[in-house]
Amino acid sequence: MDIWAEYHNFISMKLLVYVPLLTPRIKYIFNFIFNDVMKTQVGFSSNLEEFRLADIPKISYADHPVGNEMFFKNSDLLLSHTIVPPTIKTTAFGDTIVPFAVEGSTLPFDIFAASFYFVSRYEEYLPFNRNDNCSFSADQSLQHKLKLLEIPVIDAWALILKNILIKRFPKLLFFKKTFSFQSIICMVPDQRGQSHRLIQIASRVFGTIRTKLTSKDGREFRQTEIKNFIETLQRPYGTSAQFYFNNPRDTANACEGEMRLPESCLKSINAGVNNDFRMGYPKTPGFRAGTCTPFHWYDLQLEKNTHLILYPIAVNDMSFKLDRYMNSTQMLAQWKNLFDTVKLLEGNFYMLWHQDNLDNAEKGKFGRKLYREMLGNFLPLAHDLQLK
């Protein structure tokens, strides 16, 4: 096979998308869905003649089809460059209700606009009722209202789209995806109010043990003990956790506090952070950004992609501290449903834990018990995997 034939075969494995106008929003969400989630390649054209003559897999995203190509009708959201409340019509899709309904399209809704709305957290830039921590709460989200919060819908929709494309273009290349499970351990103590700190200082006169545990050496001892505990627990399963510490040598990662948009992301970028592990709801398990795939934060105010990578946290250990009415069995069952869904989609399941909930002290006992049971319920032993 000569070089030109090889080049043609390579190009024929890439999907061409016709868009009358390639906006930053369109480019961002198409690259995320096709490149990051579906693991294929996508290119764009706004030249009608070039698109008509192209002898490769192709689709259009426009107001009306060009010819007999696979057509996806657009809505206004991705054509805009302003942040205004969109008009969202819903429709049935399988056994779910989905937003951005359209007609005369391959799918009954604008999958790209819906995905962008979720992953950009568009609704968090609109007026909303702030919770006690001045953050956006899960019950205000469109996913919660449509009962989609416990599904990484973007990844699920992408799988449906992939199957549609494979049926039409059997030679379209998709790289293999692999499921991953990752515990993120945020080694930062609870940030307490000034009154708590004064009480803590006063209490030190009653015992030297408290003094030791609140000193630098004491903190390092606690963190080392927690790290050893987690590593020992996970070793039989052939997995490892990621530990992040609040120190000057670890400025590239953020895991502490709630995510507030756009302030949190802007602060992370200004601090030189590359990876942010806060894209989840502290009180509510689920998929805040509608995905189980890490993604670059899109700055809606400047209408541009950024280098900051947000990791979708499906479960935050703060939820079991806040939900006193759910026992460990119920909690693990809820988490396992999320875990199984992500595994089915060959996505990434991220859990965020904090050092105070894993401490070798009274308040850390429940967290340790839950962590141990979680591993046993979620993961096979490494020895079992080798036997298969």
| Dist CA 369 CA 374 (whole Å) | 8
Over the stretch 138-165, which tens digit does the pLDDT of each residue have?
A: 999 999 999 999 999 999 999 999 999 9
| Dist CA 243 CA 21 (whole Å) | 44
Mean pLDDT along residues 55-84: 96
Residues ≥6 apart with Cβ < 8 Å to 293 = 32, 36, 37, 152, 154, 155, 312, 347, 348
Task: Enter the DSSP assignment of 50.
Answer: H
Mean pLDDT along residues 239-255: 78
Would you call 180 helix, strand, or coil by DSSP? strand
**Average of per-residue pLDDT values in the chain:** 87
Over the stretch 318-329, which tens digit does the pLDDT of each residue have?
A: 887 665 566 788
Q: How confident is the model at residue 312 (pLDDT cuts 50, 70, 90)?
A: very high
**β pairing state of 42-45 and 15-18:** parallel
- Among residues 343, 347, 350, 290, which one has the least CA distance to residue 314? 350
Task: Tell me the percentage of the chain whose pLDDT exceeds 90.
Answer: 72
- Show the beta-strand stretches assigned E in the chain: 15-18, 42-45, 58-62, 70-73, 90-93, 96-99, 180-187, 242-245, 253-254, 275-279, 295-299, 304-316, 348-354
Comparing 72-81, 285-294, 296-305, 363-372, the range with the smallest average pLDDT is 363-372
For residue 57, pLDDT beyond 90: yes
For residue 103, pLDDT beyond 80: yes
| Dist CA 307 CA 63 (whole Å) | 32
The tokens describing 247, both together, are 């120190």
| Dist CA 319 CA 156 (whole Å) | 25
Would you call 262 helix, strand, or coil by DSSP? coil
| Dist CA 201 CA 282 (whole Å) | 29
Residues ≥6 apart with Cβ < 8 Å to 296 = 28, 32, 305, 306, 307, 308, 309, 310
**β pairing state of 295-299 and 304-316:** antiparallel
The residue ranges of every structural domain in the chain are 3-168, 181-387
Q: Give the bridge partners for 182, in sequence order.
A: 350
Return the pLDDT at 321.
67
| Dist CA 1 CA 89 (whole Å) | 51
Angle, vertex CA 314, rays to CA 152 and CA 81, nearest 5: 55
Angle, vertex CA 290, rays to CA 288 and CA 294, nearest 5: 90
- Among residues 77, 76, 155, 156, which one has the least CA distance to residue 117? 77
For residue 184, pLDDT beyond 80: yes
Return the pLDDT at 61.
98
387 vs 278, which has greater pLDDT? 278
For residue 306, pLDDT beyond 60: yes
Residues ≥6 apart with Cβ < 8 Å to 21 = 46, 79
Give the CA-trace dihedral at 334, 192, 231, 181, to 10 degrees.
Answer: 40
Return the pLDDT at 252.
72
Q: Give the bridge partners for 298, in sequence order.
A: 305
Task: Enter the DSSP assignment of 93.
Answer: E
Asked whether the beta carbons of 30 and 44 are under 8 A apart, the reply is yes
| Dist CA 86 CA 320 (whole Å) | 35
Q: Name the class of domain 181-387.
A: alpha beta
**β pairing state of 275-279 and 304-316:** parallel
3-state secondary structure 266-284: HHHHHCCCCEEEEECCCCC
CA atoms within 13 A on the CB side of 223: 18
Return the pLDDT at 6.
39
The tokens describing 219, both together, are 């903190």
